[in-house]
């Protein structure tokens, strides 16, 4: 058996993204809290996830879902106390569940004491914690707001009367950017990281990583080494915890992404926005080509890992797709303008996008979990929750978790008017129809299937650590790929269309090799010439394990002796038939 290094635990992890305030309310005030999350750790343990990613839970005016932080060393009183957080961490550790938290240090709230001090005294050291100018610079298309249509006149400089100066912000005006070129600011960030690492967190999701490495002052030139700020975060993280991971929100051009891994000295994981858009496009068009193109656009990830997802808390960003493909995705998954946001995104949950068709939902998650990288699941997607488009902006996909068909979906005993957000009620995706309790009792439910999927992925080290290749199949709606690792292989085949398809391709099988299914129920037949024939139903899928024995193992070992274990990261390589 090959041992697993603690420092690479994330390669075979399954991450569950959860918003504490929307998950479970323990005290009946209408807001989810850490005690409520602790109560649901057994549910998450049974689901099989190995790590949680928590949205910001710090004290905040809460004008941007907690991303406007006013104190980096505490817990928002609505969500509990620091003691509640410590108890939660102890209980998560007891179940072997790691916790990753958001590190929101590109900006603060305008209510943070640092900004208050910067406003009050131009000679205070805190003045240089932010970016100020006396005259508002002209608009710069390279430094536009990240929320087009939501920020007045699209500018990123706001006048502050108390300071008699303009301050810089790429997000909302109430989120002034920190001056990360200031060594004192970086020292503050290192102290924040040390504090939470010593409380047991396994790492950080670095919010707005792409903006952190860009020059902020209008007179500043491009830094000689813009990534040093991210590398310094890694150095300080591993100094406190050797297996700490950094997950970057790096929504950058594909050609720039490899630099975020920094030859192993920077980010461990990157949120895979490129593959996300192309995977959704493949589901929308029911063609494999967009998925293959998305994989081809990714640079190698030899020293890190991609974090793959279908949905997250924000909009589903398809802005990097070609315009004609964007139009196809919008037409299929967001035909009404109210379903769209920022001109680039979709503000819907996955299950409604797929018309509640469980075959398509399972196909989508099977594809996601079989992609090269670490899969991430948004809370509630394991039961097929829907969205509430009557809510503004991105809050449409942040409604409370649906535990039962009872009042408030079992999320809270508070009155409906006191809930942090309304629960989804009525219709195909209302909590009366879609909830954990009902699906737990149904052996064929999406929830119970997701448990099997998660277990299968965690058992399949080939996907997390093996060499990846695309298998050439003569069918536009089918996608097949394989991973080779330690002499064995996992082969995954998916049919993106609503019609059956039959495929035959060479797997280089020899007598004595074992081939058996891990997931899915497609018909498969092996032939004496080493090939395999697979027949997939509508939206069908299958994962197969190829176990080398005897002559096959010997030949494979000899062929691999001069190869790297992961030669091209996620780059697609074709295998001829």
Catalytic annotation present for 568:
no
Sign of the torsion formed by the C-alpha atoms of 282, 286, 289 and 295: positive
Largest CA distance in the chain: 81
Angle between helices 183-198 and 228-240 (to 10 degrees): 30
- Taking the C-alpha atoms of residue 541 and residue 283, their distance in angstroms, rounded to an integer, is 13
- CATH topology of 113-168 equal to that of 465-575? no
Name the token pair of 346.
């979709």
Catalytic residue selected from 21, 33, 76, 249: 249
pLDDT in tens, 331-368: 999 999 999 999 999 999 999 999 999 999 999 999 99
Architecture of domain 465-575: Sandwich (2.60)
Tell me what the pLDDT averaged over the chain comes to: 92
Eight-class DSSP state of 153: G
296 has pLDDT over 60: yes
pLDDT in tens, 193-204: 999 999 999 999
Query: How much is the pTM?
Result: 0.93
- Taking the C-alpha atoms of residue 59 and residue 76, their distance in angstroms, rounded to an integer, is 4
3 has pLDDT over 50: no
Task: Give kind and range of the element (H or E) at residue 451.
Answer: helix 446-459
Given a contact cutoff of 8 angstroms between Cβ atoms, the answer to whether 232 and 193 are in contact is: no
pLDDT of res. 142: 78
Given a contact cutoff of 8 angstroms between Cβ atoms, the answer to whether 478 and 533 are in contact is: no
- Taking the C-alpha atoms of residue 469 and residue 363, their distance in angstroms, rounded to an integer, is 20
Q: Locate the domains of the chain by residue range.
A: 20-104, 113-168, 465-575
Which string of DSSP letters, residue by residue, matches 459-499? Answer: H-HHHHHSEEEEE--S-TTEEEEEEEETTEEEEEEEE-SSS
Report how far apart, in Å, the C-alpha atoms of 560 and of each of 352, 514, 546, 554 are.
Answer: 45, 19, 16, 10
Given a contact cutoff of 8 angstroms between Cβ atoms, the answer to whether 309 and 368 are in contact is: yes
CATH code for the domain defined by 20-104: 3.30.750.90
Task: Give kind and range of the element (H or E) at residue 86.
Answer: helix 82-94
Q: What is the dihedral of CA 25, 27, 31, 37, to 10 degrees?
A: -40
Residue 510: pLDDT band with limits 50, 70, 90: confident
Catalytic annotation present for 207:
yes
Which top CATH class is 113-168? Answer: alpha beta
Range with lowest mean pLDDT among 137-141, 380-384, 451-455: 137-141
pLDDT in tens, 8-45: 899 999 999 999 999 999 999 999 999 999 999 999 99
Given a contact cutoff of 8 angstroms between Cβ atoms, the answer to whether 535 and 529 are in contact is: no
Catalytic residue selected from 19, 21, 84, 207: 207
Name the token pair of 16.
């569950």
């Amino acid at each position: 058996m090959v041992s697993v290094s603690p420092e690479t635990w994330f390669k075979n992890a399954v991450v569950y993204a959860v918003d504490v305030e929307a998950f479970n309310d323990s005290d009946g005030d209408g807001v989810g809290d850490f005690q409520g999350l602790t109560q649901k750790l057994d549910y998450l343990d049974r689901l099989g996830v190995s790590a949680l990613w928590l949205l910001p839970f710090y004290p905040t005016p809460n004008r941007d879902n907690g991303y406007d932080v006013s104190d980096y060393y505490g817990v928002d009183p609505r969500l509990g106390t620091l003691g509640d957080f410590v108890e939660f961490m102890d209980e998560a550790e007891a179940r072997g569940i790691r916790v990753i938290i958001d590190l929101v240090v590109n900006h603060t709230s305008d209510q943070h004491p640092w900004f208050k001090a910067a406003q009050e005294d131009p000679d205070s050291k805190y003045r240089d914690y932010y970016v100020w100018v006396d005259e508002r610079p002209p608009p710069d298309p390279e430094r536009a707001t990240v929320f087009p249509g939501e920020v007045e006149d699209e500018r990123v400089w706001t006048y502050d009367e108390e300071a008699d100066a303009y301050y810089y912000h790429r997000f909302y005006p109430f989120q002034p950017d920190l001056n990360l070129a200031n060594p004192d600011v970086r020292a503050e960030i290192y102290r924040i990281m040390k504090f939470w690492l010593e409380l047991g967190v396994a790492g950080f999701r670095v919010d707005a990583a792409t903006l952190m490495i860009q020059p902020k002052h209008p007179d500043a030139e491009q830094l000689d080494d813009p990534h040093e700020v991210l590398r310094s975060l890694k150095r300080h993280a591993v100094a406190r915890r050797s297996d700490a991971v950094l997950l970057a929100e790096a929504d950058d051009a594909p050609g720039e992404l490899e630099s975020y891994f920094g030859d192993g000295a920077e980010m461990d994981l990157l949120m895979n926005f490129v593959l996300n858009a192309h995977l959704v496009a493949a589901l929308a068009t029911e063609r494999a080509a967009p998925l293959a193109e998305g994989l081809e656009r990714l640079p190698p990830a030899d020293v890190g890992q991609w974090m793959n997802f279908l949905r997250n808390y924000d909009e589903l960003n398809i802005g990097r797709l070609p315009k004609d493909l964007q139009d196809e995705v919008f037409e299929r998954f967001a035909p009404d303008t109210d379903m769209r946001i920022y001109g680039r995104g979709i503000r819907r949950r996955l299950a409604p996008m797929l018309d509640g068709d469980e075959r398509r939902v399972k196909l989508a998650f099977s594809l996601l979990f079989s992609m090269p990288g670490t899969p991430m699941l948004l809370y509630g997607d394991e039961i097929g929750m829907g969205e509430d488009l009557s809510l503004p902006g991105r809050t449409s996909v942040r409604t409370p978790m649906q535990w039962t068909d009872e009042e408030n979906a079992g999320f809270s005993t508070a009155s409906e008017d006191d809930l942090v957000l309304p629960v989804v009620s009525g219709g195909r995706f209302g909590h009366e129809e879609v909830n954990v309790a009902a699906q737990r009792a149904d052996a064929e439910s999406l929830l119970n299937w997701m448990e099997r999927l998660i277990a299968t992925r965690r058992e399949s080290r080939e996907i997390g650590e093996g060499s990846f290749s695309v298998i050439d199949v003569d069918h536009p709606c089918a996608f097949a790929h394989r991973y080779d690792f330690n002499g064995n292989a996992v082969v995954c085949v998916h049919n993106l269309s609503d019609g059956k398809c039959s495929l035959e391709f060479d797997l280089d099988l020899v007598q004595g090799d074992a081939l058996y299914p891990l997931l899915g129920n497609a018909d498969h037949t092996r032939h004496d010439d080493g090939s395999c024939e697979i027949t997939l139903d509508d939206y069908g899928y299958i994962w197969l394990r190829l176990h080398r024995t005897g002559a096959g193992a010997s030949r494979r070992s000899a062929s691999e002796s001069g190869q790297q274990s992961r030669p091209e990261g996620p780059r697609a390589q074709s295998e001829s038939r």
